[in-house]
Structure 1
Amino acid sequence: MSQQTDENYLTTAQVARRLRVKPETIYAYVSRGLLTSVRARGRRGSLFAAAEVERLASKSVEHSGVVEQIESELTLIRDDNLYYRGHPVKDLATSLPLESVAHLLWTGELTERERFPVAGDAVELARAAMGVLPESARLTDRLRVAVAVLGAADPMRFDLTPLSVTTAVEKLIGVLVAALPGPVPALNPQQSLGSRLWPKFSSHRARPDVLESALILLADHGLAVSTVAARVAASARANLYAVVSAGLGALDGQYHGAAPTLAYEFLKRAQRDPLQALSDQLRSGEPVPGFGHRIYRERDPRAEVLLGMLGDHPVVETIQVLAARMPSFPNSDLAVAAMMHAYDFRADAGDALFALARMVGWTAHALEEYAAPALRFRALGIYTGPTD
């Protein structure tokens, strides 16, 4: 290697200074294919192309890791509006059944679809799995257990072709709804999913249109933490049930799937005395549940649709009183909580509704990952422990 060529290469020490990492980390980068080392004649140690080092430096914040940018055709959030494959979600949620919107996300085609099927033997298996849990178990706990058991019982779960995946998830969602604790109505293949799910949540006069709209509004929201978990699993070519289980695991975190329950509890207090509930919450130093959003700036379109469907119910007036004294806006968590109070849903219904809806979105993201290179998510670990 000539002196002129040497000028385009850096030593290990120089690379470490440029990337602000330890020399040991450079070798980790090499082993993971992020950098290529070369040997120079008559010189000890490795050299690295300066251009390659600069590309790596530009990819990460403070050079502590490489951020994988995920391209997706599914969900767009722009100007406080939400779109599924270019279609405004507010229009989809008020005019179409869940099955049609699900296939739009899965295939890109917006057509009339048959209702999700319900297989009696699979329902009995899922119900038996859920029944093992104690009475105190939440609905989402029962969903997680049932998904694992149904996956173990499906010998075709490793078929990752699009048709096999969409067929499996249609059956999975239909079976889970039928197996949830509650009344066991006669199986009607023409009944909407909202109609099947309603008696599992409430004995109030049924409004399946509201419930179905909520499922559509919550089906996907871009790269939320549970969706990233699902995509990582799919990148490893995990089967659909494992992908859904990964999403459910992340959803169980207090900063994600628990949000509707926190909003529900806050709204319960607020209906008795809005100002006192707000004052107590502010005094606690904790955020007010159900208000504001990291992505939306002035409004959450999902909340607007769902609250609009509740009409002049007193719970909507309570939210208006709260909103008038808040610097931010009601979000979808508060809207779901309002629906729960308006129709006397069981207290853990919000989390289960969120989980069932997101199964549609996780499947859509899994299908994108199955079509992408496998194992493309590998976090860059920086060793900080003791060395010799």
Structure 2
Amino acid sequence: MSDQPAAAEPRRLTTREAADRLGVKPETVYAYVSRGQLGSRRAPGGRGSTFDAAEVDALAARGARREPQPTGTDLVFRTGVTLIDPEAGRYYFRGVDAAELAGRYGYEEVAEWLWTGTLRPGVRFTAPPETLAAGRRAVGALPPHSTAMDRLRAAAVAASAADPLRFDLSPDAVLGTARALIPTLVGSLPVAGPQDAGDGTRQEAGGAGGEGLAPRFWRRLTTRAPDVPSLAVLEAALVLLIDHDLAASTLATRVAASARAHPYAVVSAGLGALEGPLHGAASGLAHRMLAEVLERGGAAPVVADHLRAGRRVPGLGHRLYRGEDPRATTLFALLDRVPAAAPALAAARDVVTTTARHTELHANVDLALAVFSVASGMRAEAGEALFAVARTAGWIAHALEEYAERPLRLRPSGQYNGPRPPQPLPGPRPAPPS
């Protein structure tokens, strides 16, 4: 046995110390962590993160000592909208914990604060009558089998056509557009239930009358009467989904804004990217899975079917969080207060427990949205529609940032791998033999 004392573990750096060594902001240190360029460990007591000094120095030596400087072809986004701390399993809007915001304020209040930095308690977004009428006409012209996303895209285009001032990209004009577009998207959707029989577009009479966005949206998602706990879940989900850094749809909106597309086109770009099954549509897959779990009386056969077919189990895992998605954590806590959600919530927990026997994956926000939509009698597409409406506020926040940048800066270079020139001029295809 050696008489030498055990070597003490080298002192670890705080976030501020790591940022100083790298010559960057603390937010950039967390960005390096989320990209896998730097490891971190929770500090004693669970407050903040610590970093290995040698690993920080090695990263600095590789060229991370300065804040990235944008050139004509790189894709560096300086954003003050959202910071994700994957180690802590939390995320922040303008430095404020998103879950705390969702517990205190409504969607319109948080969106307004995110855009302007000013909290306006009780603020309500209203759609101009002519814009809302254009959105409803466009939605009414769609086939009856159209999805909610089809209708949202049509409403956004119609609202754009109804606004002759849409090319004004001044901050005040963009904010005015945002405040009108979001309620137009919601108000253009048909009210659920018997009153929308026929062409599927009949709306309730009258205006919002000072009513918040969440109750208006609820009537378009389900025929069930809302209760206070269920509306609280919807309101919180809208807030939590406002933004999540540079997700695929947000990247699409930044590119559109870089080309100086107007806000309606920016939102349309986001809606297009969101509709992929790996992004906004993921909650619909989780909805169908939960419905099947409830029908078959347990998660085991349903999870087995997914694994046997080589499919991922919907609603589980997130590339940025090692534990449970903080958005799911917040929504599950609220769903616990909704009596009607108990069966779907138990089914979701059964899915997580059953899958853990094969591989440890934690619930993400899509599973929480699926619990909400199943428990509320909504269609499978409801979570995607909720995601789209909520994220519109975040897309606008990113557009405002991008409009302040140099235009057309997001121009990467392609790596050509086709035939090397010169190639012969193509000729007409020979006619088939008669």
TM-score bucket (shorter structure): 0.7 to 0.9
Aligned to 1:195: 215
Q: Which amino acid aligns with 1:229?
A: A
Q: Match of 2:345?
A: 316
Residue of structure 2 in register with 1:40 after alignment: none
Cα distance in 2 for partners of 1:190, 1:91 equals 25
For these two proteins, the number of residue pairs brought into alignment is: 329
Partner in structure 1 of residue 330 of structure 2: 305
Cα distance between partner residues in 2 of 1:151 and 1:107: 23
Are the equivalent residues in 1 in contact too, given 2:249–2:270 (CA < 8 A)?
A: yes
Q: Return closer, same or farther for 1:219/1:185 CA change in 2, 3 Å cut-off.
A: farther
Matched, 1:80 2:89: yes
CA distance in 1, matches of 2:381, 2:348: 20
Q: Which residue of 2 aligns with 1:379?
A: 412
Q: Distance in 1 between matches of 2:335 and 2:322?
A: 23
Aligned-pair CA distance for 1:104? 2.2
Once the two structures are TM-superposed, the CA of residue 281 in structure 1 deviates from its matched residue by 1.1
Q: TM-score, normalised by structure 2?
A: 0.73
Q: Distance in 2 between matches of 1:342 and 1:129?
A: 31
Matching of residue 69 in structure 1 with residue 76 in structure 2: yes
Which residue does the alignment assign to 1:45? none
**Mapped partners of 2:123, 2:375: distance in 1:** 30
Q: One-letter code of the match for 2:106?
A: P
SS at match of 1:169: helix
- The one-character-per-residue Cα deviations of 1:89-139 (angstroms, maximum 9, x if unpaired) are 111112101111102221233332520013223222111101111111101
Counterpart-to-counterpart distance in 2, 1:383 and 1:203: 53
- Would the aligned equivalents of 1:178 and 1:184 in 2 still touch at CA under 8 Å? no
Separation in 2, partners of 1:240, 1:118 = 15
3-state DSSP of counterpart to 1:70: coil
Amino acid at match of 1:284: A
Picking from 140, 143, 161, the partner of 1:152 is 161
Report the Cα distance in structure 1 between the residues aligned to 2:105 and 2:205, rounded to whole angstroms. 24
Q: Hey, what does 1:293 align to over in structure 2?
A: 318
* Counterpart in the other structure of 1:30: none
Aligned CA-pair RMSD: 2.0
C-alpha distance in structure 1 between counterparts of 2:373 and 2:171, whole Å: 35
Bigger shift: residues 315-324 or 296-305: 315-324
Matched, 1:368 2:401: yes
- Shift of residue 347 of structure 1? 2.4
Contact 1:85 1:104 in 2 (8 A): no
Say if 2:285 and 2:380, in contact at 8 Å, map to a contact too: no
Instruction: Kindly state the Cα deviation for residue 67 of structure 1 after the two structures are TM-superposed.
Output: 4.0
Cα offset for 1:383? 2.0
Unaligned 5+ segments in structure 1 are: 1-53
**Is the 2:126–2:208 Cα contact (8 Å) retained in structure 1?**
no
User: Which segment is superposed worse, 264-273 or 295-304?
Assistant: 264-273
2:137 corresponds to 1:128:
yes
* Whole-Å separation in 2 of the counterparts to 1:189 and 1:160: 30
Tell me, in whole angstroms, the C-alpha distance in 2 between the residues paired with 1:302 and 1:112: 23
Whether contact under 8 Å (1:104, 1:110) holds in the other structure is yes
1:221 deviates by 0.5
**Residue type of the partner of 2:109?**
S
The alpha-carbon deviation at position 66 of structure 1 amounts to 5.5
Q: What CA distance in whole angstroms lies between the structure 2 residues aligned with 1:306 and 1:205?
A: 20
3-state SS in 1 of match to 2:390: helix
Task: Give the unaligned 5+ runs of structure 2.
Answer: 1-61, 192-202, 423-434
- Partner residue of 1:218? 241
